[in-house]
């Protein structure tokens, strides 16, 4: 106990004495030494050890120089795992969900869809109701066999013909050390694959998103087409639709579950994650 108090007194004296770097390096080395002294053949880091290094990374720029027991990439992966565990716990249902779909119904759905290729989920759902099965249309669509096909040549032709008059918009999320989620909105020009505008918020709305589009294209610089996905913030928000139409921009929603139709935006999101965000712990906006 006295040894612990002496260590803390020395740490405080070094910090207030203008030797913050020495104090932080001393604390990092002592923490690693304590791990090695544990009476186990191969000492493992616990949650307290991980939080110590995550916090030290926030306040000390040269933290990697004193890290010997693990790699710096491991410290960043701890923060990602902590974020996943936190939001996984929040997303768990407190009550039992829907009953599972029986194998008989699943087999019947696949049989009807295979025998009638032109039938969609609404038609199959209606036929099942006639047979006395109580099941939702969404469940029917989930169990119907997926139809594989090549991308539409018409869509690819549209992208090539209007590449100079087209922009793409999209959101991607960034987890923070406070276990919050930031939403990054960006606008990408297709001609040079360059980001013409971006902004970050924790609470995106249709009005906020429409304001970003207006800011990105002042004084008759608006493009002719705007490619977007079918997120509710675009389609259900009157503010976004009205303001974008007021700029003379024609919205081109991509097909459902077809991210390849917004491939340029998806590519830049992947590049940002691979080259930057996967190597850092984000603190705030």
* Same domain as 111, residue 45: no
Residue 132 lies in a domain: yes
Residue 108 confidence (pLDDT) above 80? yes
CA distance 252 to 281: 35
Q: Which residue has the higher pLDDT, 96 or 217?
A: 217
* Same domain as 249, residue 176: yes
Q: CATH number for the domain including 189? A: 3.30.420.10
Residue 121 lies in a domain: yes
Most confident of 26-40, 44-58, 189-203: 189-203
Residue 96 lies in a domain: no
* Same domain as 191, residue 264: yes
Q: Which residue has the higher pLDDT, 54 or 171?
A: 171
pLDDT-derived band at 37, boundaries 50, 70, 90: low
pLDDT of residue 282: 92
Q: Each residue of 139-188: pLDDT tens digit?
A: 888 888 887 666 566 777 777 788 889 999 999 999 999 999 999 999 99
Q: Which residue has the higher pLDDT, 278 or 71?
A: 278
List strands edge to edge, sheet with 250-253.
194-201, 181-189, 166-175, 225-228, 250-253
pLDDT of residue 184: 97
Q: Which residue has the higher pLDDT, 74 or 112?
A: 112
Query: The whole model's pTM is what?
Result: 0.60
pLDDT-derived band at 136, boundaries 50, 70, 90: confident
Residue 148 lies in a domain: no
Q: Which residue has the higher pLDDT, 247 or 97?
A: 247
Pick from 219, 222, 220, 221: nearest CA to 244: 222
* Same domain as 120, residue 173: no
Q: Each residue of 230-248: pLDDT tens digit?
A: 888 887 657 888 889 889 9
Contacts of 206 (CB under 8 A, 6+ apart): 233, 234, 236, 237, 238, 239, 240
Residue 97 lies in a domain: no
pLDDT of residue 204: 92
Residue 63 confidence (pLDDT) above 80? no
* Same domain as 179, residue 71: no
CA distance 106 to 99: 13
Is the Cβ–Cβ distance between 105 and 135 less than 8 Å? yes
Number of domains in the chain: 3
Structure token digits, residue 142: 């989930």
Q: Chain centroid to CA 208: how far?
A: 19
Residue 285 lies in a domain: no
Least confident of 37-41, 114-118, 134-138: 37-41
Q: To the nearest whole percent, how much of the chain has pLDDT over 70?
A: 77
Residue 202: CA atoms inside 13 Å, Cβ hemisphere, count?
Answer: 9
Q: Which residue has the higher pLDDT, 136 or 20?
A: 136
Residue 265 confidence (pLDDT) above 80? yes
The mean per-residue pLDDT over the stretch 89-96 comes to 77
Distances (CA, A) of 75 to 28, 106, 121, 188, 218: 13, 45, 47, 33, 44
Contacts of 43 (CB under 8 A, 6+ apart): 35, 36
Bin 187: left if φ > 0, else alpha if -120 < ψ < 50, else beta.
beta
Q: Which domain holds residue 118?
A: 103-143
pLDDT-derived band at 208, boundaries 50, 70, 90: very high
pLDDT of residue 2: 45
- Please state, rounded to an integer, the average pLDDT across all residues of the chain: 81
* Same domain as 162, residue 253: yes
The mean per-residue pLDDT over the stretch 253-280 comes to 91
């Amino acid at each position: 106990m006295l040894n612990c108090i002496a260590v803390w007194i020395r740490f405080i004296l070094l910090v207030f004495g203008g030797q913050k770097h020495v104090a932080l390096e001393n604390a990092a080395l002592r923490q690693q030494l304590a791990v090695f002294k544990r009476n186990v053949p191969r000492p493992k880091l616990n949650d307290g050890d991980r939080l110590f290094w995550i916090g030290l990374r926030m306040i000390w720029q040269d933290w990697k120089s004193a890290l010997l027991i693990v790699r710096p990439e491991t410290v960043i992966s701890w923060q990602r795992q902590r974020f996943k565990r936190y939001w996984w716990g929040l997303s768990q249902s407190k009550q039992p969900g829907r009953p599972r779909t029986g194998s008989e119904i699943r087999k019947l759905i696949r049989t009807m869809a295979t025998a009638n290729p032109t039938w969609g989920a609404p038609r199959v759902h209606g036929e099942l109701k006639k047979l006395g099965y109580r099941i939702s249309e969404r469940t029917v669509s989930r169990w119907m066999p997926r139809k594989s096909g090549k991308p539409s040549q018409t869509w690819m032709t549209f992208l090539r013909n209007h590449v100079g008059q087209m922009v793409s918009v999209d959101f991607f999320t960034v987890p923070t050390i406070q276990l919050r989620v930031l939403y990054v909105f960006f606008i990408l020009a297709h001609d040079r694959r360059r980001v013409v505008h971006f902004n970050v918020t924790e609470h995106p709305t249709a009005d906020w998103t429409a304001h970003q589009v207006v800011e990105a294209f002042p004084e008759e610089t608006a493009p002719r087409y705007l490619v977007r996905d079918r997120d509710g913030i675009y389609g259900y928000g009157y503010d976004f639709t009205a303001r974008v139409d007021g700029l003379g921009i024609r919205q081109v929603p991509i097909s459902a579950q077809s991210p390849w139709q917004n491939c340029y935006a998806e590519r830049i999101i992947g590049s940002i994650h691979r080259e930057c965000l996967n190597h850092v712990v984000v603190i705030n906006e």
